[in-house]
Structure 1
Amino acid sequence: MFWHLFYYRLKILITNLPLIFWTMVFPILLGLLFMAAFSNLDQANLLNQSAIGIVSEEDTSEFETMLNSLQTDEGELFTVSHLSKQEATTQLTNDKIIGYYEFDKADIQLFINQNHIEQTVLSEFLSQYLQIQDKVTVLLNAGVNPEEIHAQLVANEDFITESKERSFSQSNFYFFALLGMTILNGFIWGLGNTNDQQANQSANGIRICLSPRNKFVVSFANLLASFVLFYLQSLVVLGVFHFIYRVDFGNNWGWIFLLIAIGSLNALSFGTLMGNFSSKISFDQKITIGTTLTMAMSFLAGMMGTESIKYWISQNLPLLGKINLVNLISEGFYQLYYYQSLQPFYHNLLWLAGFTVVFFLSNVYFERRVSYDHL
């Protein structure tokens, strides 16, 4: 009986052309607009030599030496000038420098007023420098020979050379966010399932409630049919982005397929939960609420040119980024492409899987409690 229900639900979903358009064709067309808008974005954001400041009353020659080691084919990446706190603040406000480091005893702080690739390099450099500084301190306290420590630091140059093999692409970032939004739009499929299962929403729901079939079996068959079709549809979008739009997703294709699978199941469960939780409002109102939530999450994930907001959230409100489903999915693509270590991706995937389990169990709870006064 289960496979009979699954087969016929699949046939019904395949014939729902408006739904397929908005969850597959529309993202592909939107990606085409992205291609037109961002075709020269990476060339426009190539690293040029930029001016930065250092605010310090102590010797910073060691820090500057490491900073000057950051170079492009044209030469040093940054020109450094020593400034007072007031001068640095004024020049940063007037965009004469892109940022400045302030040394206060053992603490080093970076001040920026924008979040472009140059500022990201400054932030990453400071993070790496502080990590190296901590390691050196620990090794010296442990009695390690300073010459051996120096040899280890020189060996880090190999890492710099290898990291150049994958260049930063800002257009990729927007496509990752677009794919995250596309996957979460699968909530519409989950809403459609609940609409066809609830007796106060549709005639199909009345027939299902009057039938002798187990309601959980019907619900699971609908969910599985939606998942299979939506997952394949998401792979089509991925294929168009990669093979036609030439978006590079890296080489971790196994993890990419798993991320899309969990993201698709998450979106379907999220939509089903919305339908179960708000069973007394109309289907169109649910679509409006779900679309509004999806667009808000896409905005906070940086898809609308709001990557600076995404960066601010990651620095100041990291939990907000962890409960943003679009951000979790798009960040997964970002981590698989740019990060050498997959540890952050595993952590991100656990959050996404955790939400999926919570949504699924919540749906089971709501559907077991459904009852009607009369049909």
Structure 2
Amino acid sequence: MLHLIKYQFRQTVREHVTMFWALAFPIILGTLFYISFGNSDMGEDMDVIAVAVVEENTSGSAQAFLAYLDALDGDIVALEPMSKDDALDALKADEVEGIFSVAKEPELIVAKSGIEQSILKALLDTYRKNTEIALAVGEKHPEGLADAMGELEDWRETTEEVSVGGRTLNPNISYFFALIAYACLSGAFLGVKGCRDIQANLSALGARNCITPTHKMKMLVSNFLVMFGIHFVNIMILTVYVRFVLGIDLGGNPGAIILVNLMGSMIGVSMGILLGCINRVSFSMRMGFCVLFTLLPGFLAGLMFGEMKNIIEQHCPLLNRVNPAAVLSDSYYCMAVYSDTGRMMRNLIILGCMSVIFVLTAFLVTRRERYDSI
């Protein structure tokens, strides 16, 4: 067994094309992700909203609304005093997101709907609501008007933004979780290569192996152990690169990360071994199946479109349970965001069961192979 492992290791690390897809390509893809959006803080910081202010009235109520806007200037909105015609032109040119009309009855003019416009409407609704409260207090309890106005001016945070695991993560982190999951499945390229080396109709090495008295199960297991070990090192290199070079937070539990990477490497290689044992199919066709069965699960796990996994979870959750890339991505979420050990262990059990089924199926297929001539 040790002899088989030694020479299989030497042969594998010399397969530059296979090693590229299993190690180099995920690192290159992760770097491109980082260049595109990995260092952004989407959803955490937001620019102030450019707003045109048109003064059409100098009454007391209009001046009160103007004072309200002035208090928000620089923090939430960036006020730009304009004439009405200039403001409309700026709105059409997308230079401002809305127009506040400072009149006896304040108004908001917008040209489209979006987050900025919703915020501006909320600011106007807040002012109107506070004005109604002040008028009601002045009519019914004029002696308490001063206290009421003081309470309205005393702005306090009443909510605290937290995540389940106590972390605030970049929303784009899902792409990196899906990336590592895709990299784990890329072990299929190594698995297909390992199967080629024990099949006489695919390579000269496979022919030599088939005429030896070595049991097929021993050859399959030795190949699996070598591919699994090499790919586990590949995934750990990628993880270290993503965590310490790109600076992406993958959670603070190194043991859990190693465990998930271990199972991810296992499912990738075992899937490749199963694909490599498909009968009456050329080696290039098997590699084509590898590309399909790594990219498609990666896409469904959110590698190309971050919300895809959530969409599938809403409409067909079973697909996320049998998609190894989605199961792996969810495991990284459990570590970095949810802090849900039970859910992570369920995912690891699913991956372990898949791996056992793939390897056993591959053995049953290869042990029945017979050749008319070698």
Residue 42 of structure 2 contacts residue 171 of structure 2 at CA under 8 Å; is this kept in 1? no
Matches within 5 A, 1:19-38: 19-38=18-37
The 1-side partners of 2:17 and 2:207 are apart by: 24
Matches within 5 A, 1:264-283: 264-276=265-277, 278-283=278-283
CA deviations 1:272-315 (Å, max 9, x no partner) are 11111x231111111112202211111111111x2332211111
> How do residues 136-175 of structure 1 correspond to structure 2 at under 5 angstroms?
165-175=166-176
* Unaligned stretches of 5+ residues in structure 2: 49-74, 77-111, 117-157
| Residue number in structure 2 paired with 1:369 | 368
- Cα deviation 1:73-128 (Å, max 9, x = unaligned): x89xxxxxxxxxxxxxxxxxx85589xxxxxxxxxxxxxxxxxxxxxxxxxxxxxx
| Kept after mapping to 2: 8 A contact 1:41/1:170 | no
Residues 154-303 of structure 1 mapped to structure 2, 5 A cutoff: 165-276=166-277, 278-303=278-303
CA–CA separation in structure 1 for the residues paired with 2:4 and 2:187? 21
Matched residue type, 1:365:
L
What SS is found at the alignment partner of 1:307?
coil
- Counterpart CA distance in 2 for 1:18 and 1:315 is 38
Matched, 1:318 2:282: no
Q: Report if aligned partners of 1:177, 1:302 keep a CA contact under 8 Å in 2.
A: yes
CA–CA separation in structure 2 for the residues paired with 1:342 and 1:303: 24
TM-score (structure 2 length as normaliser): 0.68
Q: How many residue pairs were aligned?
A: 274
Task: Give the counterpart letter for 2:225 in structure 1.
Answer: L
Which residue matches 2:128?
none
TM-aligned CA deviation for residue 190 of structure 1: 0.6
Identity of aligned residues (%): 29
> In the alignment, which residue of structure 1 is the partner of 2:147?
none
CA change 1:161–1:209 in 2 (3 A) is closer
Contact kept in structure 1, 2:178 and 2:325, CA below 8 Å: yes
Distance 1:200 1:161, change over 3 A: closer
Aligned to 1:342: 341
Question: 2:4 matched to 1:9?
Answer: no
Going from structure 1 to structure 2, the CA distance change for 1:206 and 1:315 (only over 3 Å counts) comes to same
Q: Deviations over 1:164-192 (max 9, x none)?
A: 84102223211111111011010011100
**1:303/1:211 Cα in 2 relative to 1: closer, same or farther (>3 Å)?**
same
Provide the rounded CA distance (Å) in 2 between the counterparts of 1:25 and 1:360: 26
1:218 is displaced (CA, Å) by 1.5
2:173 maps to a residue whose letter is: N
- Counterparts of residues 50-89 of structure 1 (less than 5 Å): none
Task: Please give the TM-score of this superposition, normalised by the length of structure 1.
Answer: 0.67
Q: Cα RMSD (Å) of the superposition?
A: 2.7
Contact 2:165/2:338, CA 8 A, preserved across alignment: no
Give yes or no for contact 2:43–2:171 (8 Å, CA) kept in 1. no
